[in-house]
Amino acid sequence: MNRINILLIVLSLGLTSCKNDKKETKTDPTTETATTEKFVVKPEATSVKWTAYKTTDKKAVGGQFNVLNFENKTGSTPQEALNNLSFSIPVSSLFTKDESRDAKLKASFFGAMLDTEFLKGTIKNDNNKYVASITMNGVTNDLPLDVTITEERRVSMKGTMLLKDWDALGALEVLSKACFDLHKGTDGVSKTWEDVAIEVNTFLRKG
């Protein structure tokens, strides 16, 4: 066998070896394990605001609760993180930027109810239909919520509470008497409405 043939055989073996090495080191992307993403709801990123109404013109009076208690809730989806989130709100944390109004709401409204040291509840999600099961005045009832979750993981939950559903019209009457003159409109009629708008906002952190 001449030198040229020997050289060709050596080169062929070398090329074959390189091709085999490349095939062996090739990875299949389908075998890679994806990292499971977690979403976390935290109390410090959550706010609870409410809007009540007075006068026949239905003038809005806004406020909030400065304290919301719950343990960090985690889920593999935003919906899972929010589902079965139990919370409690101290009535003492009510805040409207008006100390006189705050005192009347605590004494004449919540003070006329049963078991009002805390408002308690649980957010429930069933096929993307949300409710907040709230206990107030010794009564537990569901508050339907309209929930919006943005791509930035910001969550808005809105609902309208009818006080009669929590047997709270008696407490509303006590408040109306305490604020009789303050709830008069231009027509001279004093009115306090029984519907209260609730808005909860939070931010889902990645855990």
- CATH number of the domain enclosing 133: 2.40.128.110
| pLDDT (tens digit per residue) in 159-200 | 999 999 999 999 999 999 999 999 999 999 999 999 999 999
Sign (positive or negative) of CA dihedral 112, 113, 116, 120 = negative
84 inside domain: yes
Which pLDDT belongs to residue 31?
38
Tell me if 23 is assigned to some domain.
no
Q: What share of the chain has pLDDT > 70, as a percent?
A: 83
In a domain, residue 1? The reply is no
| Of 33 and 190, the one with more pLDDT | 190
Quote the number of domains for the chain.
Answer: 1
**Residue 133: inside a domain, yes or no?**
yes
Burial group, residue 100, by CB count within 10 angstroms (0-12, 13-18, 19+): exposed
* More reliable by pLDDT, 39 or 14: 39
Residue 201 within a domain: yes
128: in domain: yes
Does residue 71 fall inside a structural domain? yes
Torsion angles phi and psi, residue 175, rounded to 5 = -65, -40
Domain that holds residue 95: 48-206
Q: What was the pLDDT predicted at 128? A: 87
